[in-house]
């Protein structure tokens, strides 16, 4: 296994759920972290928790839907730590709704965060990684990036897009020694359902999500992909609760 110790890793969506769990897992293995999200108080608390254990952790308030802010995030990482080894493009939202409700604003937000946010994350780090001919870009898709569920048309569209974009990136940058990983979680217990605005739909999704597993399960999968030797790329993983059928 390659050493995670001292790897410089940017994590978007680090203020809760899978992103925060990934930060804890990677910090425990000695990575140097840059945490990004919009809620500064959450980032500050997590930084304090991890720094208290002697880890090198910085944060930068960032909206992934802004390319300028993603560029500034990468510049901050380079300024603080001198390099970027890995980015985990994890930030995402899931305001599910059936298409006939025409929740245009929620569709736009999902496209901005789930698709453009990933593209901007790639664009922010790729010049640096290409120049040093090394790096690892990890994009969080979903089981909804493989299957379409009731009310998931737009969310699934964004997560199918994450897989297509990541596969394109893999083919384009393989010769430049840049690793790519798509992680597709099943049901994970996080704050993701909070963004569902239809109360009845939210109640039914909360019910079926009771099978969810801890976000640390995904953090361990991400860690596994990072700690492989540099010539080994874990390109795609699906991680579900054992009892999840679809
Ligand atoms: N939970 C599941 O069952 C599940 C299943 C499959 C895939 N996923 C995917 O896993 C990823 C993480 O979600 P989660 O389950 O951990 O949910 P979560 O607890 O709600 O975390 C989502 C994270 O994304 C951040 N975020 C949202 N909009 C953002 C923006 N515009 N700019 C920057 N950060 C933003 C949030 O931080 P701020 O609000 O502070 O910005 C938060 O840290 C998402 O891509 C999600 O689609 C989750």
Mutation test residue for ligand 1: of 18, 33, 181, the one with most atoms within 8 Å of CB: 18
Q: Which of 13, 190, 191 should be mutated for ligand 1, with most atoms under 8 A from CB?
A: 13
Mean pLDDT of 200-212: 97
Q: How far apart are the CA of 68 and the centre of ligand 1, in A?
A: 20
pLDDT digits (tens, 9 = 90+) for 212-229: 999 999 999 999 999 999
Q: Residue 12: CA atoms inside 13 Å, Cβ hemisphere, count?
A: 32
> pLDDT tens, 164-197?
999 999 999 999 999 999 999 999 999 999 999 9
* CA atoms within 13 Å, Cβ hemisphere of 110: 24
Residue ranges around ligand 1 (CB below 6 Å)? 12-19, 37-39, 42, 62-65, 90-94, 113, 140, 142, 185, 187-188, 190-192, 215
Domains and CATH numbers, the chain: 8-237 (3.40.50.720)
Tell me: the pLDDT tens digits for 113-166? 999 999 999 999 999 999 999 999 999 999 999 999 999 999 999 999 999 999
- pLDDT of amino acid 1: 55
Question: Residue 32 in 3-state DSSP?
Answer: strand
> Could you say which DSSP state residue 38 is in?
S
Task: For residue 133, give both structure tokens.
Answer: 């001919």
Distance 119 CA to ligand 1 centre (A): 16
Cβ(239)–Cβ(221) under 8 Å? Answer: yes
Using alpha carbons, select from 47, 50, 69, 49 the residue that is nearest to residue 58: 47
Residue 3: pLDDT band with limits 50, 70, 90: confident
Q: How far is the CA of 91 from the centre of ligand 1 (A)?
A: 4
Reported pTM: 0.99
Contact status, residue 183 vs residue 136, Cβ threshold 8 Å: no
- For residue 59, indicate whether it is catalytic: no
| Cα(204)–Cα(210) distance, integer angstroms | 10
| pLDDT score recorded for residue 53 | 85
Q: How far is the CA of 89 from the centre of ligand 1 (A)?
A: 10
For ligand 1, pick from 60, 89, 91, 215 the residue to mutate: most ligand atoms within 8 Å of CB.
91
Sign of torsion over alpha carbons 240, 17, 29, 176 = positive
Q: Which residues of 2-22 are buried (b: 16+ CB within 10 A; e: fewer)?
A: eebeebbbbbbbbbbbbbbbb
């Amino acid at each position: 296994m390659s050493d995670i110790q001292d790897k410089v890793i940017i994590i978007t969506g680090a203020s809760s759920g899978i992103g925060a769990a990934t930060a804890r897992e990677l910090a425990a293995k000695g990575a140097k972290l840059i945490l990004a999200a919009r809620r500064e108080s959450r980032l500050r608390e997590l930084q304090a928790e991890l720094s208290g254990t002697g880890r090198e952790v910085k944060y930068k308030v960032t909206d992934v839907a802004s390319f300028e802010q993603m560029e500034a995030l990468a510049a901050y990482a380079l300024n603080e730590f001198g390099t970027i080894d890995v980015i985990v493009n994890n930030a995402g939202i899931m305001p599910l709704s059936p298409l006939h409700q025409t929740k245009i604003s929620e569709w736009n937000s999902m496209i901005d965060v789930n698709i453009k946010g990933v593209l901007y994350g790639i664009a922010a780090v790729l010049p640096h990684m290409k120049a040093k001919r090394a790096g690892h870009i990890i994009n969080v898709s979903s089981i909804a990036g493989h299957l379409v569920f009731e009310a998931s048309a737009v969310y699934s569209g964004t997560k199918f897009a994450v897989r297509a974009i990541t596969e394109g990136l893999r083919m384009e940058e393989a010769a430049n020694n840049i690793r790519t990983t798509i992680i597709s979680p099943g049901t994970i217990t996080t704050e993701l359902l909070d963004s569902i605005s239809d109360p009845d739909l939210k109640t039914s999704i909360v019910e079926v999500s009771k099978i969810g597993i801890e976000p640390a399960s995904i953090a361990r999968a991400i860690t596994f992909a990072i700690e492989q030797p540099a010539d080994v790329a874990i390109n795609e993983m699906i991680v579900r609760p054992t009892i999840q059928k679809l």
